[in-house]
Structure 1
């Protein structure tokens, strides 16, 4: 099971994303098990991030109170290994560049999105998360081996 967080102040967009993510398949046509949690504001999403671990988060760029860049930067502090995607219909190029740099965004998804592009992005994000976690695990194994050699 892969856990996905969606954050957007527009309920109709959360509903549309959730509907499309209910039918994601891998390259062989096998369904991918996704658990999708929707949050209408960044504050409630950050509270959830303190309790539950997510593989991937998709956040709108423009939201009242806290924009997507600020949210994803704060989310990254809680869950640095989660894949972060920003959703935007904005033409604010400097702001979007800041998003990529500050929050280390995996991908910018433009509004309106294409359903197939969204599904492929989710698959790529899941694979990237698995790769990151495996690299971390291997680095831990190497460190443990180096430590054991030093203590001989």
Structure 2
């Protein structure tokens, strides 16, 4: 099941997207994706969800009162760098599009009002591309282990670090003890 987080300050847009994603097939080639959708009206609420659980795809409106979609996606990427990212916007601002590609690495910029088929196709392509990137990383890691460039333990530590940043770092005290609380 692919998890998608949508953030848009317009409730009607969120409801329309949820309805579409519930009934329309999400297919790329011979791969069909079943979707679980989390919808948020505010970027801060969406970031809380991103801190609590893993998502395969973030879809964000561009213009929102709390923060723009690019800033939201930058923060979401910092939390979950492997998730795909799309911007859905009624404003066709070329500078915003360039900024989104350069700063956030979005997969697509989709205009409002959207064509249902094109939106579902873009979502399926983004999810398939993400799966391919993750599979390529796994294969490259296997080759690195086989070649002796990395150990299986190093690969696992990198995987854990991607899931929980900071989990593989240990703070040592001057006496050789492990420091659990830096607040002293």
TM-score scaled by length of structure 1? 0.91
Matched positions, count: 150
The Cα RMSD (Å) is 2.1
Unpaired segments ≥5 residues, structure 1: none
Q: In 2 relative to 1, CA 141–16 (structure 1 residues): closer, same or farther, beyond 3 Å?
A: same
The DSSP-based 3-state class of the residue aligned with 1:130 is: helix
Q: How far did residue 27 of structure 1 move?
A: 5.8
Residues 35-74 of structure 1: pairs in structure 2 closer than 5 A:
35-74=36-75
The 1:27–1:143 alpha-carbon spacing in structure 2 relative to 1, beyond 3 Å, is closer
Map Cα deviations across residues 73-110 of structure 1 (whole Å, 9 max, x no partner).
Answer: 11111111111000111132112210111010000010
Instruction: Provide the rounded CA distance (Å) in 2 between the counterparts of 1:4 and 1:114.
Output: 19
Partner of 2:141: 140
Superposed counterparts of 1:18-29, under 5 Å: 18-25=18-25, 26=27
TM-score, structure 2 length as denominator?
0.76
Would you say the 8 A contact 2:144–2:150 is kept in 1?
A: no
Q: Per the alignment, do residues 134 and 20 of structure 1 end up closer, same or farther by CA in structure 2, a change over 3 Å counting?
A: same
CA distance in 2, matches of 1:104, 1:74: 12
State the distance in 2 between where 1:32 and 1:95 align.
Answer: 30
- 2:60, 2:87 within 8 Å by CA — same for their partners in 1? yes
CA contact (8 A) 1:6 1:36 kept: yes
Aligned-residue offset at 1:43: 0.7
Extract structure 1 runs of 4+ deviating beyond 3 A. 27-32
**Aligned-residue offset at 1:144:** 1.7
* Structure 2: segments with no counterpart, 5+ residues: 152-184
Closer, same or farther: CA 38–143 of 1 in aligned 2, 3 Å: same
1:126 deviates by: 1.3
| 1:45 shift after superposition | 0.8
